[in-house]
Amino acid sequence: MGGWPTYRVSQGALRTMQHRLWDCYRQQRWPVPEYASDALTALTVFLQKQAAGGELNVPSIKR
Amino acid sequence: MTSSLKIAALALTAGIFTALPFAASAQTVAKSADPAIVDAYVKATFGKAPAEWQERIVPDETLKTCNAYHNNVPSAEADKIVKRELAKVVYPADGKFLGDWKEGRKVANNGRGGQFSDPPDTVAGGNCYACHQLEKSEVSFGTLGPSLTNYGKDRKYAPDEIKNAYTKIYDSQAVFACSNMPRFGANKVLNEQQIKDLVALLFDPDSPVNK
């Protein structure tokens, strides 16, 4: 989480963890999730909580 | 806190969490969230997707059981799942399980198909490398599943193992209840020929998996 948001080389753009979760559902063959929907927000909060105490690593570049 | 203390604390925490599933709570129905809350989340998040897409995430009988036990099913439930899933497996009419490993290699490397971003006529792959090692020359592979390198050679190319691999790819839960591996044949992700080609990738002595 400390590395997000990030510049994604494969997409040529700055992306947030919300974008990555959207991709996550896409790759799981799930229906398209709504941006800013409850589950995406809840998952982001959960991940953020898990990452508490970690080091920030921004700005960053990912594949 | 010193680093050694931190490690000790981590180990202790990990010990507690790993020990719990084997304590009294083992193989009992997990305490579940209020279904109304779960339904509200699902509706708010996926409710605008096309209806046929929303049907995809409705769990079938097998998944309902796996979900209820967090995949840690009692043996009686596991037996029921294996029996139910085995009934879904369609074996090749010609009795031949081995296709073309070169085609199987393409299926293993292809991670497309069935995503909301894919055109409907996209040929689906198995995306095997997302979880498994296969050819030793491929350095990019996931480790959620076991390494399949030398799969056929290690099993001495035994016919019963070949059939078992076909079954496993067709419907993983026909072999192991609540397996995390997709049920490729039963869910019509891959067709019979593609599965045969994957079995060949695993069992053809000329396949790079066995080299």
pLDDT confidence of residue B20? 41
Decide if A24 is catalytic. Answer: yes
| pLDDT tens-digit series, residues B97-123 | 999 999 999 999 999 999 999 998 999
Q: Tell me the average pLDDT of chain B.
A: 88
pLDDT confidence of residue B27? 57
| pLDDT tens-digit series, residues B30-71 | 566 788 998 899 999 999 999 999 999 999 999 999 999 999
Residue of A5, A7, A24, A44 marked catalytic: A24
Question: Measured between CB atoms, does A14 come within 8 Å of chain B?
Answer: no
> For residue B76, what is the enclosing H or E element?
helix B75-86
Chain B residues within 8 A of A39 when measuring between CB atoms: 41-42, 44-45
d(C-alpha A2, C-alpha B183), whole Å: 35
Q: Where residue B14 falls among pLDDT bands split at 50, 70, 90?
A: very low
Q: Where residue B8 falls among pLDDT bands split at 50, 70, 90?
A: very low
Question: Measured between CB atoms, does A63 come within 8 Å of chain B?
Answer: no
pLDDT confidence of residue B34? 86
Question: Measured between CB atoms, does A30 come within 8 Å of chain B?
Answer: yes
Neighbours of B207 (CB within 10 A): 22
Question: Shortest Cα distance from B113 to chain A (angstroms)?
Answer: 9
pLDDT confidence of residue B38? 87
Handedness of CA B2, B3, B8, B14 (dihedral sign): positive
Nearest to B112 by CA among A29, A23, A61: A29
pLDDT confidence of residue B3? 45
3-state DSSP assignment of residue A59: coil
